[in-house]
Structure 1
Amino acid sequence: MAKIHEIPAELRKDEGKGASRRLRHADVVPAILYGGKEQPQSIQFVHKDVYMASQHEWFYSSIIDLKIDGKNQKALLRDLQRHPYKQRLLHLDFQRVSENEALKIRVPLHFLNQEKSPAGKTAGVLVTHELNEILVSCLPKDLPEYIEVDLGNLSVGDIVHLSDLKLPAGLEIPELKLGKEHDVAVVLAKLGKEEVEEAPAADVAAAAPAAPAKGGKAPAKAPAAPAAPAKKK
């Protein structure tokens, strides 16, 4: 199970756009906590605390312990609004987590040993990561912070599909239940080719000036048009 991270929060009494603006001016981030059998709660965070947490990968894929006025509430981040150009968080949405209910969440992939693999050691081979995270279903106790993908045996021409991933115990990939067409590629290893665009031969010939024959003279210039006769006075 992934480590549970704790972030302090407080209940928020004032609601509405005006109240949210006042909170942001005071370096406080408004948020909502919903889900489970309880009513939605308006909460707030000190901007520094939640902004520092948002710089870590676990903030987006791990269970977070929200310590609201001294009481802990396990939750998952479901939505985050950022300022368009400032390093500011504007609003957060959290969903309560029940220990006995399966949840669906995207978990990041960590790729290992790519450089040591046969594909990684072969010149001209391009290894692409088609997916950097996947949607999984599991109980909260089985949720990992990330899933490791070992590419140590990756060879040229190999394709790693969703069904090839080695998942920790308790995890499922819901997409694989929808049919083979959903078993998409995660990693591709193929030879990279540089495409060089060449001008057609006909265009090159038309653009080049005509060369004189060997030992001959250069082609004569076209005669100038005769001058118009002068008018009699």
Structure 2
Amino acid sequence: MKVIAFNRTLQGSGASRRLRTSGQTPGIIYGGTEAPVMISLDGNALYHALKKEAFHGSVLDLEIDGATQAVMLRDFQMHAYKQLVMHADFQRVDAKSKVHTKVTLHFVNADVSPAVKLHGAIVSHVLAELEITCLPGDLPEFIEVDLANIDVGHSIHVADLTMPKGVTAITHGSNLTVATAAVPAGHVAADALESAAAAAASEADAAAKGAAKPKK
């Protein structure tokens, strides 16, 4: 994805406020061997770009004065209630150096899992994103979590995921839980009542048949 930015010379809260009033968003590029660079970006274009998942998890081509450099979005601040991006931080990336970032998890096939199809369970997503490290060229837009085989009472952990080539999950020594499957308490209670009612009806039917037999 390509991002157009402009050099920004004026700093301070007053200068940033004037930028936002003119439809621009202040930002910064840092990292690598070069000094940090103050930039401004089109506020409306940036606001809509932030709605795209790929913008958060991709290496971006950021162009300033005709020169392009590879960066990643590292942070941004939104206005408390306006559709306004207050500031954006970008980090330079080197194609030969691994990056450490978070990637969104996409959950698929829950509807065909034994937990849902056979038991009416609910699959809970414990993690929404995962910390990873990889070379910029191997950075995935997302990581898929296949729920097709999950059953009631079981969980999927990071170690169960199929990681894209060149990508390593960072778990800080723990095999983190990604998703779990459980039958809702109300559903369990309803099943128990239904079973009890069926058993009572069966007993009543047997008693009625016994009473109906003629005595010898």
Coarse TM-score class (shorter-chain normalised): 0.7 to 0.9
Match of 2:112 in 1: 116
For 1:41-52, list aligned pairs within 5 A.
Answer: 41-52=37-48
Match of 2:208 in 1: none
Extract unaligned runs of 5+ from structure 1.
Answer: 197-233
Instruction: Give the number of aligned pairs.
Output: 188
Whether the aligned pair in 2 keeps the contact of 1:31 and 1:92 (CA below 8 Å) is: yes
Match of 2:139 in 1: 143
Task: State the distance in 1 between where 2:40 and 2:146 align.
Answer: 40
Task: State the distance in 2 between where 1:150 and 1:138 align.
Answer: 22
Match of 2:102 in 1: 106
Task: State the distance in 2 between where 1:21 and 1:152 align.
Answer: 50
**Aligned residues: percent identity?**
43
For 1:27-46, list aligned pairs within 5 A.
Answer: 27-46=23-42
Extract unaligned runs of 5+ from structure 2.
Answer: 190-216
Deviation string, structure 1 residues 109-148 (Cα, Å, up to 9, x no partner)? 1111111111121343121010011000001011000011
Secondary structure, in 3 states, of the residue corresponding to 1:99?
Answer: coil
Q: Quick check: 98-107 or 120-129, which moved more?
A: 120-129
Secondary structure, in 3 states, of the residue corresponding to 1:115?
Answer: helix
AA of the residue aligned to 2:92? R
Match of 1:191 in 2: 183
Whether the aligned pair in 1 keeps the contact of 2:119 and 2:152 (CA below 8 Å) is: no
TM-score when scaled to structure 1?
0.77
Q: 2:67 aligns with which of 71, 92, 96?
A: 71
Task: State the distance in 2 between where 1:69 and 1:130 align.
Answer: 44
Q: Which has the larger radius of gyration?
A: 1
Q: Within the alignment, does 1:16 sit opposite 2:16 as a pair?
A: no
Q: Which has the higher helix share?
A: 2
